[in-house]
Amino acid sequence: MAKLNPITVSALKMLRLDTDRVPRNHNDLAFAARRRTKFKVWTQEQTDAYRHLWDLIGQQQEQQAA
């Protein structure tokens, strides 16, 4: 497994997710983030972290499809 960059680790921490791996797909990310964060309204930082991870998962899926 490739080492995660500091931005990705910070994004995982912001959403209270395990910092050793990125969720496999968008559904796993959505489920885990919803379960781990009990806030009704996310902060801007949490939203940015979620978007970063969402984009990262999309890039990984595109690479696997190629």
- Residue 57, sorted as left (phi over 0), alpha (psi -120 to 50) or beta, turns out to be alpha
Residue 46: what residue type? Q
The span from the CA of 15 to the CA of 47, in Å, is: 9
pLDDT in tens, the chain (66 residues): 468 899 999 999 999 999 888 999 999 999 999 888 876 788 999 999 999 999 999 999 998 888
